[in-house]
Structure 1
Amino acid sequence: MDIHEYQAKALLAECGVPIPRGGLAYSPEQAAYRAREIGGDRWVVKAQIHSGGRGKAGGIKLCEDAHEVENAAEELLGKRLVTHQTGPQGKVVYRLYVEAVTPIRTELYLGFVLDRKSERVMVVASASGGMEIEEISQQRPDSILRVSVEPAVGMKAFQAREIAFGLGLDPALTSEAVTAILGCYRAFRDLDATMVEINPLAVTEDGRLLALDAKMTFDDNALFRRPNISELRDKSQEDPRETQAADRGLSYVGLDGNIGCIINGAGLAMATMDMIKHAGGEPANFLDIGGGASPDRVAKAFRLVLSDEKVEAVLVNIFAGINRCDWVAEGVVQAVQKIDLTVPLVVRLAGTHVEEGRQILETSGLPIITADTLAEAADKVVDAWRQSRADRA
């Protein structure tokens, strides 16, 4: 789960990370009020969307007075920002963060990620802040510092000091840097985060250390024990299909193809999408309905997949272990009977009670195409999709 910049800053500030003065705004008038409340003579108005690259997309405005703040807010609110991370569909701006402008001497990069290969929290830092870490690794790979944290003891102050020294910070800032670095680690560990990123971590002209931008993501599977984090979720920034699936306990990722997939098991889902591509088609989604695929759950999956207007054919691929093929078949039949299915449907069942499941499909009287193997199912759904498109043409 992603959160907004202002939310990440608030969480990090609670852990001792220094941040500039700022305030949230939902309207131009409120933005101008925030600027006057913050004080100073220059402010920056930032669009709050779940994406990096906002500045290049025109989502960050520098303002000299409250009137400019109001105009900038009016321009940004309701605007659809398209960045290199959002894709061509972009994301709509519904809230803004107004912040005091900070004179910057140096920009640094600081990130905490979970390195699955080493099974450790990895700290990544660079003296080249203000750029995406991918750009830094390409343009200045020697500037990147990496420190692995031993989970049995956690991050220690000496490691934070090593990072501060490696970034070339003034010795007078070492104490502040250690506090900020350990605060980020504490937020990462205690809140079940999967990433904490401060970019840039700025050294100001008056010799302070401030987190000018912050990003945090969290482990969805741990949200049940972090209600304070779960409440920060902004569904307006998510794919509505993925939000709908998550609310129904389904694992869904929207793609750009036109063949909908309903599958149990993440590995089987990946293999199915590969086979669809191999057969010449394009999957419209990744959908794992899980091991306990009851008829009601299958019906929910159908409604979710068919809510995507791009879907022109559907492939159901179930390998039943703890599940049962007859249950899945009943769910497929119920879904097709209740939903006005206007696209071809291919079903491949294997595993527990497979014969009973196939019999239910055959005796249903519904236009369901069956297949015995994954390769056959992929070929049939791509052929059915092509035929359907030709018929409509």
Structure 2
Amino acid sequence: MDLYEYQAKELFGRHGIPVPAGRVATTPAEARAIATELDAPVVIKAQVKTGGRGKAGGIKPAAGPAAAETAAEHVIGMDIKGHIARRVLVEAATVPFEEYYAAFLVDRAEGGFLAMVSAQGGMEIEELAARDPDAIVKLPIDPVAGVDADTARLLAGKAGLPEQAAEVLEKLWRVLVEEDAVLVEVNPLISTTDQRVMALDGKVTLDDNAAYRHSWEYADESVTLEAQAKAKGLNYVKLDGKVGVIGNGAGLVMSTLDVVAGAGAAPANFLDIGGGASAQVMADGLEIILADPDVKSVLVNVFGGITACDAVANGIVTALQLLGERGHGRPIVVRLDGNNAEVGRRILSDARHPAVRQVSTMDGAAELAARLAAGA
């Protein structure tokens, strides 16, 4: 379970990690009142569970209460990568002297924990890793020994962070362990001109499997695509690409994601509709995918087994009828194979839907979906 920034900072505060003063607001009037209480320039920050807020205009400075209210009017309700900002964090503006990056996470590949620290913060860590891998210090953490004061000083020293940052790193580790998190990330972790170190941002992912050990009350009130899919009983994960993917069976969907990537495109999602691809399930799946503005083409990859391909094809046709105009905007590439595949293909051909393109192989379907997405 991902937390909003304000929730992550509440956790940080409970563990003694310094954060800027601020509170969350759900209306522009509340934002003005909080800015008045803070009696200082503030920053209005959209609370969404995705990156890229700044580039999307979801973070705005405000010199005073009136400006804070105006900024909140612009940010509340903003759509950022399919995530609607229902609230904003109104926070005292803090000018960093230096910016760093710090994270502790579960390293599933190695079956342990990993620390990642850098003296270069405030940017996408993926971009930094690609441009200058040596700028990020990575240190495997022994699950038993954990991060004590000596380890924290070692991390800070290797990464070129000031001595004051070591105490914060030790406390960030404590958040990971005591809160049963799988990721604790601060970008940027900053030092101020008076040598204070604080978390200017925060990202925490909690392990849902540990919920029984906590009294978490982190309700997700945002209407995200993932929340909409969950409400419809769909297995959906939002990704960052342009090709929407639907398949029946987790293994097939994972293979499809790999094939799309191999065709030179990035998948926009993982969506497994399971074995019973009824018309309503297919309609729900297409509705979720087509609601993502990042999607430029859709790839439906189905292998008929328990549910025959003719039933799947009828589901696609009915789904597109249910969607109406929403099903016409972007191309939908369909690959059917397995039980009654020929009959299913004929059903789709007879329907003559302008958005549908049929391809008989998975590789060919992925290549077409990639080309269509690139040309959109």
TM-score by structure 1 length?
Answer: 0.69
Query: Deviations 1:8-48 (Å, cap 9, x if unpaired)?
Result: 1112222222212111112221111112223x432222222
Q: What per-residue deviation string (whole Å, max 9, x for no partner) do you get for residues 190-215 of structure 1? A: 44433221122122233322111111
Give CA-to-partner distance per residue, 1:321-365, whole Å, 9 cap, x none: xxxx4x53499479749946659976534xxxxxxx759x97x9x
Is it true that 1:212 corresponds to 2:200 in the alignment?
yes
SS at match of 1:72: helix
In 1, Cα distance between the equivalents of 2:79 and 2:260?
33
Aligned to 1:243: 227
User: Hey, what's the Cα distance between the residues in 2 that align with 1:163 and 1:302?
Assistant: 50
Pick aligned residue for 2:123 from 126, 131, 134: 131
Which consecutive residues of structure 1, in runs of 5 or more, have no partner in the other structure? Answer: 319-324, 350-356, 370-374, 386-393
1:73: how far off?
Answer: 1.8
Q: In the alignment, does 2:269 pair up with 1:262?
A: no
Maintained 8 Å contact 1:299/1:331? no
Unpaired segments ≥5 residues, structure 2: 291-295, 322-331, 350-358, 370-376
Partners of 1:141 and 1:278 lie apart in 2 by: 24
Greater Cα offset, 221-230 or 202-211:
221-230
Name the amino acid aligned to 1:49.
Answer: V
* Superposition deviation, residue 159 in structure 1: 0.8
State whether structure 2 residue 68 is matched by structure 1 residue 111. Answer: no
Counterpart contact for 1:244–1:304, Cα < 8 Å: no
Residue 337 (structure 2) aligned to one of 348, 369, 375: 348
Equivalence for 1:26: 26
Give distance in 1, aligned partners of 2:97 and 2:73: 31
Contact 2:86–2:221 (Cα < 8 Å) also in 1:
no
CA deviation profile, 1:56-102 (whole Å, cap 9, x unmatched): 44332333322222222223223445xxxx3xxx6443211111123
Q: Is the 8 A contact 2:44 2:88 kept in 1?
A: yes
Code of the residue aligned with 2:307 in structure 1: it is V
Tell me, yes or no, if the aligned pair for 1:3 and 1:215 is still in contact at 8 Å: yes
Partners of 2:310 and 2:16 lie apart in 1 by 52
Query: Match of 2:9?
Result: 9
User: Which residue number in structure 2 is paired with residue 231 of structure 1?
Assistant: 218
Q: Which residue of structure 2 aligns with residue 52 of structure 1?
A: 51
Q: CA offset at residue 105 of structure 1?
A: 2.7
Q: How many residues align?
A: 342
Counterpart residue number, 2:144: 152
Instruction: Trace 1:62-211 onto structure 2 (pairs within 5 A).
Output: 62-81=61-80, 86=81, 91-138=83-130, 141-171=133-163, 173=164, 177-178=166-167, 180-211=168-199
Query: What corresponds to 2:353 in structure 1?
Result: none
Partners of 1:196 and 1:202 lie apart in 2 by 16
The percentage of counterpart residues that share the same residue type is 34
Q: Over residues 111-130 of structure 1, what are the superposed CA-to-partner deviations in whole Å (9 max), with x where a residue is unaligned?
A: 12333332221111112222
Matches within 5 A, 1:280-359: 286-289=270-273, 293=275, 295=276, 301-307=281-287, 308=289, 314-318=300-304, 325=305, 327-329=306-308, 332=311, 336=315, 339=318, 347-349=336-338
Q: What residue identity is the alignment partner of 1:317?
A: F
Distance of 1:74 and 1:63 partners within structure 2: 12
Instruction: Note closer, same or farther for the CA distance 1:95–1:337 as it changes in structure 2 (3 Å cut).
Output: closer
Inter-partner Cα distance in structure 2 for 1:65 and 1:313 = 49
Q: Does 1:252 align with 2:236?
A: yes
Q: Which amino acid aligns with 2:6?
A: Y
User: Structure 1 pair 304/285, CA: closer, same or farther in 2 (3 Å)?
Assistant: farther
User: Which whole-Å CA distance do the structure 2 matches of 1:7 and 1:114 have between them?
Assistant: 20
Q: Corresponding residue for 1:391?
A: none
Distance 2:101 2:129 in 1: 12
Residue 156 of structure 1, CA deviation: 2.7
1:222 maps onto 2:202 in alignment: no
**Equivalent position SS for 1:367:** helix
Structural RMSD (CA)? 4.3
Distance in 2 (alpha carbons) for counterparts of 1:243 and 1:304: 13
Q: Is the 8 A contact 1:284 1:311 kept in 2?
A: no
Are the equivalent residues in 1 in contact too, given 2:309–2:336 (CA < 8 A)?
no
Shift in CA distance, 25/328, structure 1 to aligned 2, threshold 3 Å: same
Q: Distance in 2 between matches of 1:143 and 1:74?
A: 39
Label 1:344 to 1:22 Cα distance change in 2 as closer, same or farther (>3 A): closer
**TM-fit CA distance, 1:277:** 8.9
* Equivalent in the alignment of 1:322: none
Q: Contact 1:261/1:284 (CA < 8 Å) preserved in 2?
A: no
Whether the aligned pair in 2 keeps the contact of 1:147 and 1:159 (CA below 8 Å) is no
Matched letter for residue 171 of structure 2: G
Structure 2 vs 1, CA of residues 328 and 197 (structure 1 numbering), >3 Å: closer, same or farther? same
Is the contact made by 1:276 and 1:378 (CA closer than 8 Å) also made in structure 2? no
Deviation at 1:51, TM superposition (A): 3.1
